[in-house]
Amino acid sequence: MSIHAVLTNVDADLDEAVERLFDLIRIPSVSTVPAHQDDCRRAAEWSCGQLRALGFTASVRDTPGHPMVVGHYVPAALAPSIPHVLFYGHYDVQPADPLERWDSAPFEPVRRRDSDGLERLYGRGMSDDKGQVMTFLEACRAYLRVHGALPLKITVLLEGEEESGSQNLAPFLKDNRDELAADVALICDTDMWDARTPAITMSLRGLIHEAITVSGPTKDLHSGVFGGPAVNPIRVLAKVLAGLHDDDGRVTLPRFYDDVPEPSAELRRKWAALDFSTEAFLGGVGLTTPAGEKDYSALEQMWCRPTAEFNGIFGGNTTPAERSVLAATATAKLTFRLVGQQDPEKIRASFRRYAASMMPPDCRVSFRGEGGSGAVAVDENNRFLTAVSTALQEEWAREPVLKGSGGAIPVVRYIKEILGINSIMPGFALEDDAIHAPNEKYNLDSFHRGIRSWVRVLDKISREVS
């Protein structure tokens, strides 16, 4: 079977594919906000309907949180050795606030030709991950339209809690281990190398979320009356945070680096040879200088070095007005990005011991956070990797970069540990997609050629892997 007819079909159907994606974007499936619970279910049901329309046996599956969507496709003419792929994506999105910083409403998708001549699709979840999910479904749609059948056994698993900690993912995988069995997982939640060069993500950092609250006086105090003798939780919290890194940018927690492997000289050389401009990468967000650990390149700081990051802080007067108040509490939100064999529970416990040790008299510290994921590295010898890599090369006419990623995708680790299979992660997002931020977008080209890429991947796997 030739795939050129399929690719042509993809091209011809692009406008309608965009409209289908927009339908999904319009559902504000923000998984971290309880008020959007029904929206999450609507997004699940919409996705399930799409799968059924493609001929999948699909269902919305309840969990203690937001539901999963599972769909199965088994070709009628079944060769015994036909590969079975598990496609994973997520239908939930990040909150859209601050709303005032969006140029268009986050859940009213917009297709726009920007001043650089490129068409882009704007809306919350466009890149992370609804647009990427739809590249795969649209590839299946085109393939089916032309050939009447898909060339592989395909299971699709869509999660609704990726942005809220994936609390129910591992239990779901465990409970449905047999149903979800496959030869390999395909995940589309990562970036291209650049707008012209595809990439496959080979390693991911782990992630812990942690919140710390320092409490002092039983109530907010007047800073004139109590300023001096009353302990100040914001000051104490600032000391805790300021003490977490040394002057070289290293995390000061004891034994933090015990399970962090130094990158090999060969790896460092290979990464240094990549067409990566630190200036351009940082310059895109108004920065010039890598701010992570001294003596590591920006790429190394992202791909193979752990971090402690402060994601939010609040306490006392957060209004524009001047107020002579001493806050009763102050809170910070942190993430730790983990690499190598760093253990989430050990790191979390180490942070809590450190913070507790910094409390002066009259201050209490409390923490919120649990779970987390360790880092994963996908097996470079996986037999599906070559097929995916070749498919991408044919679509983009460039060899894909086999790269690391600073972000965590906990499902990769769960899939490895629970289902026993590796994940291949091509992705069509771009670094400037503004995921988790206002004005999230997905280039029309990412969407279009993402669909075409998946057509080639399905075809390539069906031909070359057995």
Q: Does 326 bind a copy of itself (CB under 8 A)?
A: yes
Shortest distance, CB of residue 271 to a copy of itself, whole angstroms? 13
Shortest distance, CB of residue 350 to a copy of itself, whole angstroms? 18
Site for a copy of itself in 43-82 (CB under 8 A): none
Site for a copy of itself in 351-390 (CB under 8 A): 360-362, 369
User: Among 50-58, 84-92, 281-289, 418-426, which window interacts with a copy of itself (CB under 8 A)?
Assistant: 281-289
The whole-angstrom distance between residue 187's C-alpha and the CA centroid of its chain comes to 11
Shortest distance, CB of residue 423 to a copy of itself, whole angstroms? 16
Q: Does 287 bind a copy of itself (CB under 8 A)?
A: yes
Q: Does 423 bind a copy of itself (CB under 8 A)?
A: no
Amino acid at site 176: N
Nearer to a copy of itself, 128 or 183 (CB): 128
Shortest distance, CB of residue 203 to a copy of itself, whole angstroms? 12
Q: Using CB under 8 A, which of 137, 200, 214, 434 touches a copy of itself?
A: 434
Site for a copy of itself in 143-202 (CB under 8 A): 164-165, 191
Q: Does 327 bind a copy of itself (CB under 8 A)?
A: yes
All residues at 6 or more sequence positions from 82 whose CB lies less than 8 Å from its CB, including other chains: 75, 151, 152, 153, 462, 466
Site for a copy of itself in 218-257 (CB under 8 A): 218-232, 234-235, 237-239, 241-243, 245
At 2, list the tokens: 């030739």
Shortest distance, CB of residue 164 to a copy of itself, whole angstroms? 7
User: Among 49-57, 279-287, 373-381, 417-425, which window interacts with a copy of itself (CB under 8 A)?
Assistant: 279-287
In terms of phi and psi (left: phi > 0; alpha: psi -120 to 50; beta: otherwise), the region of 145 is: alpha
Transcribe 114-130 into DSSP letters.
-TTS-EEEESTTIIIII
Nearer to a copy of itself, 38 or 97 (CB): 97
Helix (H, G, I), strand (E, B) or coil at 440: coil
Q: Using CB under 8 A, which of 20, 316, 359, 464 touches a copy of itself?
A: 316
Shortest distance, CB of residue 40 to a copy of itself, whole angstroms? 14
Transcribe 219-267 into DSSP letters.
S-EEHHHHTTTS--HHHHHHHHHHTTB-TTS-B-STTTTTT-PPPPHHH
Site for a copy of itself in 76-115 (CB under 8 A): 94-95, 97
Q: Using CB under 8 A, which of 314, 359, 398, 416 touches a copy of itself?
A: 314
Transcribe 317-369 into DSSP letters.
--SSS---EE-SEEEEEEEEEE-TT--HHHHHHHHHHHHHHT--TT-EEEEE-
**59, 49 in Cβ contact below 8 A?**
no
CA distances from 391 to 19, 115, 179, 386, 387 (A): 26, 32, 28, 8, 6
Q: Using CB under 8 A, which of 33, 74, 149, 267 touches a copy of itself?
A: 33
Shortest distance, CB of residue 332 to a copy of itself, whole angstroms? 7
- Dihedrals φ, ψ of 223, to 5°? -75, -15
Q: What is the dihedral of CA 352, 355, 356, 361, to 10 degrees?
A: -160
Burial 81-110 (b: 16+ CB within 10 A, else e): ebbbbbbbbbbbbbbbeeeeebeeebbebe
The whole-angstrom distance between residue 208's C-alpha and the CA centroid of its chain comes to 14
Q: Does 14 bind a copy of itself (CB under 8 A)?
A: no
Nearer to a copy of itself, 4 or 219 (CB): 219
All residues at 6 or more sequence positions from 34 whose CB lies less than 8 Å from its CB, including other chains: none
Nearer to a copy of itself, 150 or 192 (CB): 192
How many residues touch a copy of itself under the rule CB under 8 A: the total is 92
Q: Does 9 bind a copy of itself (CB under 8 A)?
A: no
Q: Does 301 bind a copy of itself (CB under 8 A)?
A: yes
Amino acid at site 98: P
